[in-house]
Amino acid sequence: MLLSQTCIYGLRASALLASKSRADYTTIRELSDELDISFHFLTKVLQKLTKSELLESYKGPNGGVKLARTASDIKFMDVVLSIDGDSLLHECALGLPGCGILEPCPMHDQWSGLKQNIVTMMKDITLKDLANNYNSTHLTFDSFNKGNQV
Amino acid sequence: MLLSQTCIYGLRASALLASKSRADYTTIRELSDELDISFHFLTKVLQKLTKSELLESYKGPNGGVKLARTASDIKFMDVVLSIDGDSLLHECALGLPGCGILEPCPMHDQWSGLKQNIVTMMKDITLKDLANNYNSTHLTFDSFNKGNQV
DNA sequence: GTATATTAAGACAAAATAGTCTTATATATT
DNA sequence: AATATATAAGACTATTTTGTCTTAATATAC
């Protein structure tokens, strides 16, 4: 799996927040219910995004979380970096720590090309894009969670 | 990480076997020493490849493992499928079980394009390619394991 | 046939990841 | 002030992945 489960949860919650495009705060409980993710676990995931200043949180009644910037200004990659870190950018396909331009492993050239494409995509796509696609499918995220399609 | 550690060990051992291009058996001990991988763990990894009939094994003195076919006839993808299975081929970037053409998740189109490129590469590269590159670098795999480059 | 060399198999341990639960802290409402 | 609502933080548990160790099975050589 390319991204950790934690990261995927963060991406889904971020995309859902973006699709709501609300100015006020959304509770994590609402997000966890819609996404069918454990409330407590999602709380911890979103804390990372808050610390990275991708989200803003507010305690107490009418509190919750919201995007810290406009959805078009937060990239897929921002969420990945915040949660999974930058290991994806540097990792050798064969897991060799010394692999690089000077001492390429047998996979280096092929893999770094592909990796660059992945990174480009992640830097290209914003939460707004995710939210747009999300809305255009006329599907709730919840429907995915039921696994009703192969 | 795209591939499991187990899978990476399998790939490295397979590439090393291919680079030796020996007709007789190589002991797992020799492979594990050169690759600096735990002997017992590598044994279990290679057992999977043997069961998948990518390798042949032989017990007793002068025994060991060798490629079951010529190196140019075993693909990177064969090893990945044997060890990690085909989850990579089907996985949605957002981990949504229902994601597909009928009910695409917000990432579906972009991700399936990239995924296809990855799969194409893995089906394209053979152990012979890995071995060639490996030899042309004039580096032992061992030098990578020391992590002497950023 | 006994000793030696090798993979096969499976029990066990350690580490990383994922998930749960409880308590603390901040805010709003009354 | 008291109560209710929300995130923050951290202890704890469960699961998966990775790694270790012991024993079994098989083949060779003498």
Q: What is the 3-state secondary structure (H, E, C) of A70-132?
A: CHHHCEHHHHHHHHHCCHHHHCCCCCCCCCCCCCCCCCHHHHHHHHHHHHHHHHHCEHHHHHH
pLDDT tens digits for range B1-36: 789 999 999 999 999 999 998 899 999 999 999 999
Residue B148: is its pLDDT beyond 50?
A: no
Nucleotide nearest to B58 (CA to C1'): C7
Decide if pLDDT at A119 tops 50. yes
Can you tell me the distance from the alpha carbon of A131 to that of A135, in angstroms, rounded to the nearest whole number? Answer: 6
Could you tell me the distance in Å between the CA of residue A135 and the C1' of nucleotide C13? 48
Across B42-57, average pLDDT: 98
Residues A67, A22: Cα–Cα separation, whole Å: 9
Q: Output the pLDDT for position B136.
A: 66
The alpha carbon of residue A60 is apart from the nearest alpha carbon of chain B, in Å, by 31
Whether A110 has a pLDDT exceeding 90, the answer reads no
Q: Is A113 exposed, middle or buried (0-12, 13-18, 19+ CB in 10 A)?
A: exposed
The predicted pLDDT at position B147 comes to 39
Of B11, B15, B98, the CB nearest to A147: B98
Q: Encoding tokens for residue B62?
A: 């002068």
Between CA A62 and C1' C30 the distance (Å) reads: 16
Whether pLDDT at A48 is above 80 = yes
The position carrying tokens 């399936």 is: B112
Lowest mean pLDDT among A33-47, A76-90, A97-111, B41-55: A97-111
Distance from CA of A56 to the nearest CA of B (A): 23
Contacts of A88 in chain B (CB under 8 A): 1
| The model scores a pTM over 0.85 | yes
- State residue A82's pLDDT score: 97
Q: How confident is the model at residue B107 (pLDDT cuts 50, 70, 90)?
A: confident
Identify the CA nearest to A56 among candidates A35, A34, A76, A26: A26
Question: Which of B43, B11, B2 has the alpha carbon at shortest distance from B26?
Answer: B43
Q: B102 at the A interface (CB within 8 A)?
A: yes
**Which is more confidently placed, A24 or B96?**
A24
How far: A19 CA to C29 C1' (Å)?
Answer: 30
What is the pLDDT at residue A99? Answer: 84
For residue B22, report the phi and psi dihedrals to the nearest 5 degrees. -100, 145
pLDDT at A141 over 90: no
Residue A74 reports pLDDT greater than 60: yes
- Give the pLDDT confidence score for residue B99 in this predicted structure: 85
Closest residue of chain B to A135, computed from CA coordinates = B106
Residue nearest to nucleotide C27 (CA to C1'): A60
Q: What CA–CA distance (Å, rounded) separates A126 from B111?
A: 14
Give, in order, the Cα–Cα distances in Å from B6 to each of A87, B1, B47. 18, 12, 12
State the pLDDT at residue B145. 45
Average pLDDT of span B87-114: 86
Nearest to B98 among A2, A99, A148 (CB): A148
pLDDT, averaged across chain A? 88
**Which bases in strand C are touched by protein, i.e. have an atom under 7 Å from a CB?**
4-10, 17-22, 25-29
Interface membership of A101 toward B (CB under 8 Å): no
Q: CB within 8 A of A61, min separation 6: which ones?
A: none
What is the distance between the alpha carbons of residues B19 and B127, in angstroms, rounded to a whole number?
8
Helix then strand count (H, E) for chain A reads 8, 2
Please, what sign has the CA dihedral across residues A77, A81, A83, A87?
A: positive
The share of chain A scoring above pLDDT 70, in percent, equals 89
The 10s digit of each residue's pLDDT in B80-98 is 999 999 998 888 988 887 7
When mean pLDDT is compared across A89-98, B2-11, B37-46, B118-127, the lowest value belongs to: A89-98
Position B137 scores a pLDDT of 57
User: What band does B149 get if pLDDT is binned at 50, 70 and 90?
Assistant: very low
CB contact under 8 A, B105 and A149: no
Which nucleotide's C1' atom has the smallest distance to the CA of A61? Answer: D5
Q: How many distinct helices (H) and strands (E) make up chain B? A: 8, 2
User: Which structural domains are found in chain B, ordered by start?
Assistant: 5-145 (1.10.10.10)
Contact A106/B148, CB-based, under 8 Å?
Answer: no
What's the CA angle centered on B19, arms B122 and A93, to 5 degrees?
35
**How far does Cα B47 stand from its chain's mean position?**
13
The answer to whether some atom of strand C lies closer than 7 Å to the beta carbon of B52 is no
